[in-house]
């Protein structure tokens, strides 16, 4: 049985598209059963609709607290029978309760080689720091921002000619490979967590 996946989005959804494309392969062990956006009208919702995936918009501004908003998302995910949650450009900090409720079953993609460059503006900061390698990380979500056991990382060289945009474009190509790879590992139950390390069975 394919694992049912819920994807949380806030924007154009290029990583959502990579996951939709991966799930279109009959041999892929997961299917996207629901896409939730906290922002009305974003392109990610169109991508989901084009793939025949149910969508839901839950504007966060209508809630008195982060916890109340997260609780509404949680209800929708559980009602849809979701087993794995993917954050794909979801621009909201999650409450501790929500992160704990989905611990071990929720993954995020971050445009840097964690634990370096947590937070925003990762490509600019990588260039300013003079690193020779940059990339992306898919990790299990914990209550701490951009933290949690690492499942997949992909690296790209930082070129002397790079600016923020050229580096971002090269990293994004790798994100589109890394995210489906990580979802596959989780959907095939090949991830065991020891402390802050994710150990991959049959890696």
Q: β-pairing, 150-157 with 133-140?
A: antiparallel
Could you give the CA distance from residue 14 to residue 109 in angstroms, rounded to a whole number? 12
Could you give the CA distance from residue 139 to residue 104 in angstroms, rounded to a whole number? 10
Q: Where are the beta strands (DSSP E) in 52-196?
A: 55-57, 84-88, 106-110, 133-140, 150-157, 191-194
Buried b (16+ CB within 10 A) or exposed e, 138-153: bbbbbeeebbbbbbbb
The active-site residue, picked from 60, 110, 121, 134, is 110
110: annotated active-site residue:
yes
Could you give the CA distance from residue 49 to residue 134 in angstroms, rounded to a whole number? 33
Just list the catalytic residues.
Answer: 110
């Amino acid at each position: 049985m394919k694992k049912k996946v819920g994807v949380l989005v806030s924007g154009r959804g290029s990583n959502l598209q990579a996951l939709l494309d991966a799930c279109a392969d009959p041999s892929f062990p997961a299917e996207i059963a629901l896409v939730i956006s906290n922002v009305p009208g974003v392109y990610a919702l169109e991508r989901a609709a084009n793939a025949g995936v149910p969508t839901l918009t839950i504007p966060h501004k209508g809630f008195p607290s982060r916890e109340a908003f997260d609780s509404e998302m949680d209800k929708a995910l559980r009602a849809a029978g979701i087993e794995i949650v993917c954050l794909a450009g979801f621009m909201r900090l999650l409450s501790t309760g929500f992160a704990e409720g989905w611990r071990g079953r929720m993954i995020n993609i971050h445009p840097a080689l964690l634990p370096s460059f947590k937070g925003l503006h990762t490509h600019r900061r990588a260039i300013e720091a003079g690193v020779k390698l940059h990339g992306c990380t898919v990790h299990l979500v914990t209550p701490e921002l951009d933290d949690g056991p690492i499942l997949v990382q992909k690296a790209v060289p930082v070129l002397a000619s790079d600016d923020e945009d050229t580096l971002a474009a090269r990293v994004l190509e790798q994100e589109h490979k890394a995210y489906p790879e990580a979802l596959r590992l989780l959907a095939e139950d090949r991830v065991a967590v020891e402390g802050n390390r994710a150990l991959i069975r049959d890696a």
